[in-house]
Amino acid sequence: MSHFLFPDFLNDPQQYHEAEELWLKTWKELVREAEQADQWKSPHYTTTFVDGTPCRDGDPIFSAVDPTRRLGVRIIQFEPTGDSGEFVSWQDTFAEGEPEEVRDLVISCSLTDETLSKACDLIRQWITQDRIATGSDPGMGQPTLPYLAPADRPV
């Protein structure tokens, strides 16, 4: 059984804030280690409604973009649905065919120390190599988790 971090974050604004802060802190460490802190802008995706109210649905809980390389990162966090952490990742294209096109690494997970570590490994590859090795990681590929609405599932 996994120890979930912020398991009630969708219902508890304080836990949601703490989860956001953990992702941001983790991100800052990763881009600092890669000596890329000045290249990336965060957030990339809007997390508020039109009136400015925070959405707090976990999609995304964190996002960033390197506008020069047209690379992005989007983290989707969802509530735990079982006894162990769930993790899936994939590559997506935002605004495909448009001048603002961005290749995104999308990571979707319930948050545990283990899934956070997996996310860090993938993000590190993405920001330093502009790609991720897909052959050895069973979490990389098409998401099959039922919480994703059909419109959010990659083709």
Under the banding of pLDDT at 50, 70 and 90, the label for residue 155 is very low
Residue 148 within a domain: no
| pLDDT of res. 134 | 64
3-state secondary structure the chain: CCCECCCCCCCCHHHHHHHHHHHHHHHHHHHHHCCCCCCCECCCCCCECCCCCECCCCCCCEEEEECCCCEEEEEEECCCCCCCCCEEEEEEEECCCCCCCEEEEEEEECCEHHHHHHHHHHHHHHHHHCCCCCCCCCCECCCCCCCCCHHHCCC
Residue 154 within a domain: no
Under the banding of pLDDT at 50, 70 and 90, the label for residue 147 is very low
Residue 7 within a domain: no
Residue 55 within a domain: yes
Residue 22 within a domain: yes
| pLDDT of res. 23 | 98
State pLDDT tens for residues 13-61.
Answer: 999 999 999 999 999 999 999 999 999 999 999 999 999 999 999 999 9
State pLDDT tens for residues 76-88.
Answer: 999 999 899 999 9
Read off the pTM: 0.85
For residue 116, pLDDT beyond 80? yes
Instruction: Report the domain count for the chain.
Output: 1
129/141: higher pLDDT = 129
Q: Which domain holds residue 102?
A: 13-140
> Rounded CA gap, 6 and 16, in Å?
7
Beta bridge partners of 74: 63, 106
Give the pair of three-digit tokens for residue 135.
């052959």
Residue 153 within a domain: no
Residue 79 within a domain: yes
CA 13 to chain centre: 19
| pLDDT of res. 136 | 47
Residue 155 within a domain: no
Closest alpha carbon to 34 in 71, 62, 59, 61: 71
